[in-house]
């Protein structure tokens, strides 16, 4: 193993940084890279996942949907709770050899259950994303503030995430209790929970 000086030696992922409102496709790209699946642009994958942005952000994108108001309680960004933008359908259409399933917020009993589920993923060397209310993680609930990150490892009851956001650490440590509450606050209707990806 190489002796890295600027990043953790035990990281399971190579971080990528997102365009605004593109956390979901950017996180999926990290999983694709890890599984030797050819990459496409985050904007292209995002489009198939319902990516929608406000008019003030339209100029940042080559071609995307625009709406004056957030299209769902998840806010702007991808809209995977809409059946038209189901990740399995999108990945099949794009030839991405991954399958997708969710453990929703209501199916996670408590912090210990969250940790147990994530520990199993880590032990199996599996791939998962966490979907949660970012405001809760930052200390205060903010509506229309969903965020998605890659799950990396459990370390001393903290969850190490790979965060695609340009203004967050790439290897980001979050207390498990805080993450549990943020997932619960985001809720089933906004796809809050653990997103599982398996290679087909």
Q: Write out pLDDT tens, residues 170-192.
A: 999 999 999 999 999 999 999 99
Q: Looking at residues 12-39, what average pLDDT do you find?
A: 98
Domain spanning 23-199 has what CATH number?
Answer: 3.90.70.10
pLDDT at 4: 86
Q: What three-state secondary structure class fits 146?
A: strand
Contact 171, 11 (CB under 8 A): yes
- DSSP, collapsed to helix, strand or coil, labels residue 90 as helix
Mean pLDDT computed over every residue of the chain: 96
Mean pLDDT of all residues in 85-102? 98
Q: pLDDT category, 101, cuts 50, 70, 90?
A: very high
- With bands split at pLDDT 50, 70 and 90, how would you rate the model's confidence at 72? confident
**What is the pLDDT confidence band of residue 1, given thresholds at 50, 70 and 90?**
low
Banded pLDDT at 92 (limits 50, 70, 90): very high
Rg of the chain on CA atoms, in Å: 16
How high is the pLDDT of residue 3? 82
* 131-135, long-range: CB < 8 A, 24+ apart: 131/183, 131/186, 131/190, 131/191, 131/192, 131/193, 131/194, 131/195, 132/179, 132/182, 132/183, 132/185, 132/186, 132/192, 133/182, 133/183, 133/185, 133/186, 133/192, 134/182
Mean local confidence (pLDDT), 163-172 = 97
Taking residues 16-34, report their average pLDDT: 97
Considering only CA atoms, which of 1, 7, 4, 35 is closest in space to residue 170? Answer: 7
- Tens of pLDDT, residue by residue over 42-62, are 999 999 999 999 999 999 999
Average pLDDT over residues 127-148: 94
């Amino acid at each position: 193993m190489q002796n890295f000086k600027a990043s953790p030696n035990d990281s399971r992922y190579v971080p990528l940084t997102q365009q605004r409102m593109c956390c979901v496709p950017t996180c999926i790209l990290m999983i694709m890279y890890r599984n030797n699946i050819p990459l496409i642009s985050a904007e292209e994958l995002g489009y198939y996942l319902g990516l929608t942005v406000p008019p003030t952000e339209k100029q940042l994108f080559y071609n995307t949907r625009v709406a004056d108001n957030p299209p769902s309680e998840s806010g702007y960004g991808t809209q995977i709770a809409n059946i038209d933008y189901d990740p399995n359908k999108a990945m099949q259409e794009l030839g991405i050899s991954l399958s997708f399933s969710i453990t929703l917020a209501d199916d996670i009993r408590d912090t210990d259950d969250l940790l147990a589920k994530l520990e199993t993923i880590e032990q199996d060397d599996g791939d998962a994303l966490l979907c949660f209310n970012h405001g809760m993680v930052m200390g205060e609930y903010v509506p229309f503030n969903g965020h998605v990150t890659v799950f990396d490892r459990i370390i001393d009851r903290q969850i190490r995430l790979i965060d695609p956001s340009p203004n967050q650490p790439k290897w980001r440590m979050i207390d498990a209790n805080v993450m549990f509450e943020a997932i619960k606050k985001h809720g089933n209707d906004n796809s809050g929970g653990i997103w599982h990806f398996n290679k087909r």
